[in-house]
Chain A
Amino acid sequence: MMSHAAAHYTSTGLDSRKMAFWAFIGSECLLFGSLISTYLVYKGRSVVGPTTHEILNIPVTSVSTFDLLMSSLAMVLALSAVERGDKIWARGWLATTALLGLVFLGFQAYEFTTFVHEGLKLDTNLFGSTFFVLTGFHGGHVAIGVLWLLTLLVRSFMGKLGPDKALNVEIAGLYWHFVDVVWIVIFTVVYLLQ
């Protein structure tokens, strides 16, 4: 049908949903940019402890960072499997990505509870406020990503995630990789910078 074809015409040839998602990511950059800048501005200005290296457990967080990085690899493999119509591996890699995301969230939950036990809460000092809000925002993004991945997994089991739907996976992947990249910045700024 002519009108059907016309409805999918785009001026640039790019898919509109994908373009929208890139715009969204642009917006998210400013969101995390504001959070990270605030963290940096307030670094070392807390009037009471505990702060940064008195409390941060870098080895443990290195493991969770590695875990999140590996989830990005699994995401790439999931997309590739969906594109070539390989249902088994699509499910396998989608499940792996979601699981690695959940593991990351588990690490974060462990980290947060440990900090609270060691006396660092949201209202303890500037470090507590900036740290929990920044990493909490990121954790929230990971949680939404996990829900998204599980949704795709369910769609795959329903037989509704064929190669024609690869774009859906690609967009979820864009989000996932973005959240990953943001974590690299956070890990560098919060954990590694002395």
Chain B
Amino acid sequence: MTSIATPASSVARRSGIWSWITTTDHKRIGILYGVTALFFFLLGGLEALIIRLQLAAPGNTLVSAETYNQLFTMHGTTMVFLAIMPLSAAFFNYIIPLQIGARDVAFPRLNAFSYWVFLFGGLLLNSSFLIGAAPNGGWFGYANLTSSQYSPGLNIDFWVIGLQVLGAASIAASINFIVTIVNLRAPGMRLMRMPVFTWMTLVTQFIILTAFPVITIALVFLMFDRFFGTNFYSVAAGGDVLLWQHLFWLFGHPEVYILILPAMGIVSEVIPTFSRKPLFGYAVIVYSGILIGIIGWGVWSHHMFATGLGPIADSVFAATTMIIAIPTGVKIFNWLATMWGGQIRFTTAMLFAIGFIAMFTIGGLSGVMHSSPPADLQQTDTYFVVAHLHYVLFGGAILGLSAGAYYWWPKITGKLLDERLGKIHFWLMMVGMNLTFFPMHFIGLLGMPRRIYTYDTELGLDTLNLLSTIGALLLGVAMIVFLVNAWRTRTNGEPAGKDPWGGAGLEWAIASPPPVYNFSVMPEVVSRLPLWSTREMKPIPDVPPEPVHVPGGSFWPVVAALGILLLGIGALLQALPVVIGGGAVLFVSVYAWAFEPFEM
């Protein structure tokens, strides 16, 4: 062969905006996901802060009832679809190929496509704020509140179309990661040698693959009802509004596990590393993750106890809800047992992981309380539920993702985050979240309903609400500390080296940040903990012994995503030419994509 292009020279060419737009490198796409999701997380956080400021005092008039509806709808929708899911996706993208010893994902261009569709979907959804018509029907969008009769205007249209676009991104990504994990493992990386984060990601992708088509159809029905006058959620035509709730929660409850399983995977990586002990009960953790993924499909109606499904349905779903707490509890005990007798180092990542266990346990316990229909009837639609879901999603998912951020930051940037600022971040977040969400248990049980823009001082909940608002402001400060930390260490952070924490996974065997080809030679895996094993793994040289082929970028994924965006905008404006234009762009780019030379 004549071309002895060293990998270094091909890396040098890849810089500038265009290289990011056309990138198919899983590491760059991971960074894009992370930065975008962080932006949306801050946006969703800002919405939450306005909500809390409105509720700081009784009878407050900071925002109108209509604005408040838009704020809580977009807060929920943003945090679920635009913050937590893509933050997890950032880790899937960056870390999974490194953990399984692969050079990239199975379909690098599809991966870029997923990112761009996600970005455009998020922008489409949020552009509704610009015309003052943000979605206002709650993140659950119950029928028939969302019908064109009760919700005229573009608000719900933005929501219906934005979520369909985002769903396409998630399904494409799930196929990609299932194949990557099943098919691209390095030699010797058997299924039961995979890191737990990889395992939990695999389970998550299966849930995404199967849950998203269900909400897609629910949204298609809603879109047809609004645009073409169909009768899916029309009671007058004999339809049943509960159809929406069933389809939505058939997706919605598995979605909860889509949000939490990646965080559980991260914690299962962090705790062993900083306890200097292999994970206690690896197989049991894996099996309970799979079991959660399966049972997660059989609990959806516990969101609907108040709709009167009858004693049989209520009993069955109460039982399955109690059962799913078992594999979850098993994991908690496994993490505790991993720490037991270990040489624990309280790094920021470890603190977040321990915080995750504690906070998630509280959220899990209030969750089990909901599983009993009579108790749930008291709690449903009150702040008690808000407290519960924030303990699992903030105390669970966000603390877990934060642990992952501090743990893998040095791998991604090559620089360690400052530990002192990190610990300030952690404690501010712990105090802030408990101050925000713990009082909500009482606020709810004492009778304050969710989703109402104000309350009367006669309720006697002024102090508790004010405390909650102060906690939310603390959370805002915590985020600023994190951003300062990220900014400062960007230039003068301590260099990380290959393995700053003494981790066991393959990702720590290579440079930080990893070279564009990840592994200079195919790693050969001989144990579950390659870098801790007494059976030495063959070292991975820093310079590839022979040239490594690295696929170039492609701009067709972003063009295809633009086509989908145009389709969405056309549907929103009900402008047929735009829809046709978008379809044409999509059509052309799919063919160009299929036939462009792209050697893996």
Residues of A within 8 A of B (CB): 1-4, 6-12, 14, 16, 19-20, 23-24, 26-28, 30-31, 33-35, 38, 41-42, 45-47, 122-123, 125-126, 128-130, 133, 151
Measured between beta carbons, the chain A residues less than 8 angstroms from B522 are 6, 9
Q: Complex: how many Å from CA A52 to CA B548?
A: 62
Interface centre among B183, B187, B236, by most A CB within 10 Å? B183
A33 CA / B297 CA spacing, docked (Å): 14
A7 — which chain B residues lie within 8 A by C-beta? 103, 549, 599-600
Query: When chains A and B are docked, how far (Å) is the Cα of A6 from the Cα of B217?
Result: 40
B546 touches A16 (CB 8 A): no
Which B residues are CB-close (under 8 A) to A151? 591
A28, B224: Cβ atoms closer than 8 Å: no
Query: Which residues of the other chain, B, contact A14 by a CB distance below 8 angstroms?
Result: 183
Q: Does B333 contact A (CB under 8 A)?
A: no
Pair A24/B175 contact, Cβ less than 8 Å: yes
Q: How far, in whole Å, are A16 and B108 apart by their CA atoms in the complex?
A: 12
Known A34-B214, A34-B218: A20·B600 in contact at CB below 8 Å = no
B247 near A34: Cβ-Cβ < 8 Å: yes
**Which chain B residues lie closer than 8 Å to A26 at the CB level?**
209-210
Minimum Cβ distance to chain B for residue A24 (Å): 6
Q: Tell whether B539 is near chain A: CB-to-CB under 8 Å.
A: no
Q: Which of B42-50, B238-246, B394-402, B420-428 contacts its partner?
A: B238-246
Distance (whole angstroms) from the CB of A158 to the closest CB of chain B: 11
Is there an interface contact between B183 and A123, defined as CB atoms closer than 8 Å? no
Task: Name the A residues within 8 Å of B548 (CB-CB).
Answer: 3
Q: For B178, what are the chain A residues with a Cβ–Cβ distance below 8 Å? A: 19-20, 23
5 A-B pairs besides A27-B212, A27-B213 with CB distance below 8 A are A1-B1, A7-B549, A16-B179, A23-B209, A31-B217
A-B contact pairs, 18 of them (CB 8 A): A3-B547, A7-B549, A9-B522, A10-B184, A11-B185, A19-B179, A20-B106, A23-B174, A28-B213, A30-B211, A31-B213, A31-B216, A34-B217, A38-B221, A46-B238, A47-B237, A126-B237, A129-B237
Is B365 located at the chain interface by the 8 A CB criterion? no
Q: Please indicate the chain B residues that have their CB under 8 angstroms from the CB of A45 in the complex.
A: 238-240
Docked complex Cα distance between A6 and B187 (Å): 11
The yes or no answer to B529 lying at the interface (CB within 8 A) is no
Q: Closest CB-CB distance, A39 to chain B, in whole Å?
A: 11
One of B154-162, B226-234, B266-274 at the interface = B226-234
Are A3 and B549 interface neighbours, CB within 8 A?
Answer: yes
Q: Check A2 against B243 for contact (C-beta < 8 Å).
A: no
Q: Which of A19, A31, A122, A133 contacts B229 (CB 8 A)?
A: A122
Within the complex, which residue of B176, B183, B546 is in contact with A11, where a contact is CB–CB below 8 Å? B183
User: Are the CB atoms of A2 and B238 closer together than 8 Å?
Assistant: no
B237-A125 in contact (CB<8A)? yes
Question: B100 CB to closest chain A CB, in angstroms?
Answer: 9
B106 near A16 with CB under 8 A, answer yes
**Number of A-B residue pairs with CB-CB distance less than 8 Å in the complex they form:** 121
B107 neighbours in A (Cβ, 8 Å): 16, 20
Q: How far is the CA of A123 from the CA of B237 in the complex (A)?
A: 9
A35 touches B217 (CB 8 A): yes
Is B220 touching A133 in the complex (CB atoms < 8 A)?
Answer: yes
**Which of A3, A9, A11 has the most chain B CB atoms inside 10 A of its CB?**
A11
Listed from nearest, the 10 A-B pairs whose CB atoms lie closest are: A123-B229, A129-B230, A34-B217, A31-B213, A30-B213, A11-B185, A45-B238, A10-B183, A47-B238, A16-B106
Q: C-beta contact mask, B193-225 vs A, less than 8 Å → 1, else 0?
A: 000000000000000011111101110110010
Residues on A with beta carbons closer than 8 Å to the beta carbon of B229: 122-123
Q: In the complex, A129 Cα to B237 Cα: how many Å?
A: 10
B326 within 8 A of A: no
User: Which residues of B are found within 8 Å of A128, using beta-carbon distances?
Assistant: 230-231
B221: chain A residues at CB < 8 Å are 38, 133
CB contacts (< 8 Å) of B231 on chain A: these are: 123, 125-126, 128-129
- Closest B residue to A1 by beta carbon equals B1
Q: Which residues of A sit under 8 angstroms from B236, Cβ to Cβ?
A: 47
Shortest Cβ distance from residue B395 to the other chain A in the assembled complex, whole angstroms: 31
The yes or no answer to B189 lying at the interface (CB within 8 A) is: yes
Q: Which residues of A contact B228 (CB under 8 A)?
A: 122-123
Interface string of B95-115 (1 = CB under 8 A from A): 000000001001100000000
Q: Please, which residues of chain A bring their CB within 8 A of the CB of B187?
A: 9
Smallest Cβ distance from A54 to chain B, in angstroms? 16
B182 on the interface (CB 8 Å rule)?
A: yes
The docked-state distance in angstroms from the alpha carbon of A3 to that of B179 is 20
Given contacts A34-B213, A133-B220, contact A23 B179 (CB under 8 A): yes
Residue of A nearest to B236 (CB): A47
Residues of the A chain whose Cβ atoms lie less than 8 Å from the Cβ of B174: 23, 27
Q: From known contacts A16-B179, A47-B237, A129-B230, infer whether A122 and B213 are also in contact, taking CB-CB under 8 Å.
A: no
